[in-house]
Amino acid sequence: MSAETWIIVGATSGMAIPFTRLLAGRGAALVLAGRRMEDLSAMATDLTERGAVSATPVMFDARDPGTFDAILAAAKAAEGTLNAAVFVGSMPEQSAIDADPALVDGTIADSLTGPARLLTLLAPQFEDRGTGTIIGIGSVAGDRGRIGNYVYGAAKAGFATYLSGLRNRLGRSGVHVLTVKPGPVRTPMTQGMKMPFMAEADATAEDILKAADRKKNVLYTKRIWWPIMSVIRAIPEPIFKKMSV
């Protein structure tokens, strides 16, 4: 039996992979939720070799609430402290969204409504257990709507607000909620993009786990993004609307 079980939603994402390896290294039980079952089972073998007590692939599609039941069942069966980390999200180019506005729905389903609905379904289980941590991945892009990716930013802003409310609710029963706001991280999602203060996925994963262990509420990673975003948030709208940051 393991002391902790982690449900990893969006387990094959570039940020989730190193995070699950850290958890495996400390002997956690893992539930790996995602769309590509073949990749998830390869990942499960790898994580078991790396020390996970168990690693169970579960089919999950943020856009198909019919798939959420499997996660709820896995949560119910979890041994030790139940925890969840939600890494799902998608970031189409803003120009692609401008050309095909139907992409707005998918972006918001992947980054906001899908994960929010799942966490709302999971919340009572956490309340019953009265312990555990939920990690949600927002983004610095959610702190201000920028010309470059404001649909993705809007979805992440919504998710951050949702997490803030969820923290308010679950904190009353001893469950912790951590909002992570990463800057750009070198993952397949950001492949080939040139961005400032690019972080490595390994370092980001370490930051996230450390913040979860310390019960931090909001984590900017890298840290430099906290002062940067504080300044960007403080710029008055009449000026900001003329800027391209």
Minimal CA–CA distance to 169: which of 214, 228, 116, 234? 116
Closest C-alpha among 152, 122, 116, 108 to residue 136: 116
Q: Given the rule CB under 8 A, which of 44-52, 56-64, 111-119, 143-151 is the region that contacts other proteins? A: 44-52
CB nearer other proteins, residue 47 or residue 82? 47
Taking CB under 8 A as the binding criterion, the range among 42-50, 136-144, 163-171, 225-233 that sits at the site for other proteins is 42-50
- Any contact of residue 206 with other proteins (CB under 8 A)? no
Nearer to other proteins, 39 or 61 (CB): 39
Q: Which one among 22, 35, 51, 169 touches other proteins, defined by CB under 8 A?
A: 51
| The only residue of 192, 196, 236, 238 in contact with other proteins, by rule CB under 8 A | 192
Residues 34 and 63: beta-carbon distance below 8 Å: no
What is the distance between the terminal CA atoms of the chain, rounded to a whole angstrom? 49
Toward other proteins, which CB reaches closer, 171 or 188? 188
**Residue 49 or residue 98: which is nearer to other proteins going by CB?**
49
Alpha carbon distances (Å) from 156 to 66, 145, 190, 210: 23, 10, 16, 22
b/e string for 21-57 if b means 16 or more Cβ within 10 A?
A: bbbbeeebbbbbbbbeeeebeebbeebeeeebbebbb
d(CA 204, CA 17): 11
Give the count of residues interacting with other proteins (CB under 8 A): 13
Task: Tell me how many degrees the CA angle 231-98-36 measures, rounded to the nearest 5.
Answer: 90
Select from 73, 188, 195, 245 the one that contacts other proteins (CB under 8 A): 188
By CB under 8 A, tell whether 191 contacts other proteins: yes
Q: Minimum Å distance from CB 32 to other proteins? A: 13
Q: Which of 2, 5, 12, 133 binds other proteins (CB under 8 A)?
A: 12
Residue 50 near other proteins by CB under 8 A: yes
Q: What is the CA radius of gyration of the chain?
A: 18
Does residue 202 bind other proteins (CB under 8 A)?
no
Interface residue with other proteins, options 7, 16, 32, 43 (CB under 8 A)? 43
Residues that bind other proteins (CB under 8 A): 12, 39, 42-43, 45-46, 49-51, 188, 191-193
